[in-house]
């Protein structure tokens, strides 16, 4: 039987109200969004916040839109909304492909993009997408807002650049005309965390790769990405040989540990193979688009 430790609960009525509540209640308070990372931890009593600040009424944090040359997702956008969003799918298939293998439909109804990103589990699928696409997040505190690139956002497992009295408000992704993208995941069973996942985008122009991003999760790749693999592909044709070489470089960027999800060498192999498969499909999509 799992029951959270006693706690208090308050609903924020605006982002600034949420921030002032965080300041008021200090480090023992915690934002409650979808709750599907925090509540399970509270049931295990691993997390024991003394005040839960429910931000589910903050409509200002919802919505998916295009803003100039960026896709903007409010922090409270649910996984389901990302999965079903036509505008996201139009620009990057990777969003739908990734969300299809995150959790299950019910969890996706509640879980949010901001919550998942701020939870910063080292196996978070959206982290691979965020790093692959070189997205950024907007963080708001009492003194204003700031933007942090997702490749600098994570400080370690479960730790991000968000300070105690701050809240993430948006996630932003550059729009790249002509990009193809893909996501590949291996999991032990439906809805599980990945053994390894790879997410990529590729822009192929005149037969050569002009831009690409490679994200990896669950394999301890620094900042969930593989920069050497990306750099290798620029200016090269997306041939099998080149993609295989890039995939090997991606695997080199992974430093997995053996655990109940699998042995380290298997995860390394997956980093290689899944990156390759994702690159193949992304490159094809870019050329077919």
Partner 1 sequence: MELENTFVVPADMDTAWKTLLDVEAIAPCMPGATLTSFDGDNFAATVKVKLGPVTMNFAGEGSFVLIDDATHTAKIDATGKETKGAGTAGAKVTATLTEETPTTTRATIITDLTVTGKAAQFGRGVMADVSKRLIGQFADNLEKVIVARQSPSVEEPADAPPAAGQPVAAPNPASPAPQLNNDALDLGNAALVPVLKRVIPVLVGVAFVGVVIWWVARRRR
Partner 2 sequence: MQVSMNINGEPVTADIEARKLLVHFIREDAGLRGTHWGCDTSNCGTCTVWVDGEAVKSCTVLAAQAGGHEVRTVEGLEGADGLDPVQQGFIECHGLQCGFCTPGMLMTARWLLDQNPNPTKDEIREAISGQICRCTGYKNIVDAIHWAAEHPRTNEVTA
> Site residues (CB under 8 A) for partner 2?
1-9, 32, 35-36, 39-40, 42-43, 52, 54, 56, 103-107, 109-110, 190-191
* Closest to partner 1 by CB, 160 or 286: 160
Query: Shortest Cβ distance from residue 110 to partner 2 (Å)?
Result: 6
Interface map 151-170 toward partner 1 (x if CB under 8 A):
----xxxxxx----------
When the beta carbons of 10 and 72 are compared against partner 2, the nearer one is: 10
Is residue 100 a contact residue for partner 1 (CB under 8 A)? no
Residue 194 in contact with partner 1, rule: CB under 8 A: no
Is residue 90 a contact point for partner 1 (CB under 8 A)?
Answer: no
Per residue in 119-138, is it b (16+ CB within 10 Å) or e — as a string? bbbbbbbbbbbbbbbbbbbb
Q: Please, which residues have CB within 8 angstroms of residue 284's CB and are 6 or more apart in sequence?
A: 180
DSSP 5-16: PP-EEEE-SSHH
- CA atoms of 70 and 171, how far apart (whole Å): 10
From CA 124, how far away is CA 210, in angstroms rounded? Answer: 28
- Per CB under 8 A, 35 contacts partner 1: no
**3-state class (DSSP) for residue 147:** strand
Closer Cβ to partner 1, 60 or 259, answer by number: 259
C-alpha span between 233 and 239 (Å, rounded): 10
CA distance 57 to 59: 6
Question: Nearest distance from residue 121's CB to partner 2, in Å?
Answer: 14
Q: Using CB under 8 A as the criterion, which residues of the chain lie in contact with partner 1 when the complex forms?
A: 5, 27-28, 30, 36-38, 40-41, 44-49, 102-104, 107, 111, 119-123, 155-160, 191-193, 218, 220, 256-261
């Amino acid at each position: 039987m799992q029951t959270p430790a006693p706690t208090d609960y308050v609903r924020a009525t605006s982002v600034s109200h949420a921030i002032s509540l965080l300041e008021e209640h200090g480090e023992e308070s915690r934002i409650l969004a979808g709750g599907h990372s925090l509540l399970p931890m509270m049931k295990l009593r691993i997390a024991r916040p003394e005040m839960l600040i429910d931000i589910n009424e903050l409509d200002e944090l919802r919505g998916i839109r295009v803003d100039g040359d960026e896709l903007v997702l409010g922090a409270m956008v649910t996984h389901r909304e990302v999965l079903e969003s036509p505008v996201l799918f139009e620009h990057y298939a990777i969003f739908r492909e990734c969300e299809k293998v995150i959790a299950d439909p019910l969890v996706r109804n509640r879980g949010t993009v901001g919550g998942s990103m701020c939870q910063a589990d080292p196996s978070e699928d959206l982290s691979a997408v965020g790093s692959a696409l070189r997205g950024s997040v907007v963080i708001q505190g009492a003194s204003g807002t700031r933007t942090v690139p997702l490749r600098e956002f994570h400080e370690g497992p479960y730790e991000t650049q968000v300070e105690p009295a701050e809240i993430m408000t948006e996630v932003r992704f550059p729009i790249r005309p002509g990009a193809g993208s893909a996501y590949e995941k291996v999991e032990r069973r439906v809805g599980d965390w990945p053994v390894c996942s790879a997410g990529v985008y590729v822009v192929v122009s005149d037969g050569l790769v002009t831009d690409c991003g490679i994200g990896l999760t669950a394999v301890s790749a620094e900042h969930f990405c593989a920069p050497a693999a990306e750099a290798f592909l620029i200016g090269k044709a997306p041939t099998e040989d080149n993609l295989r070489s890039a995939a090997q470089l991606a695997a080199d960027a992974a430093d997995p540990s053996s655990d109940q999800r699998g042995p380290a060498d298997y995860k390394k192999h997956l980093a290689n193979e899944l990156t390759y498969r994702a690159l193949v499909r992304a490159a094809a999509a870019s050329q077919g688009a």
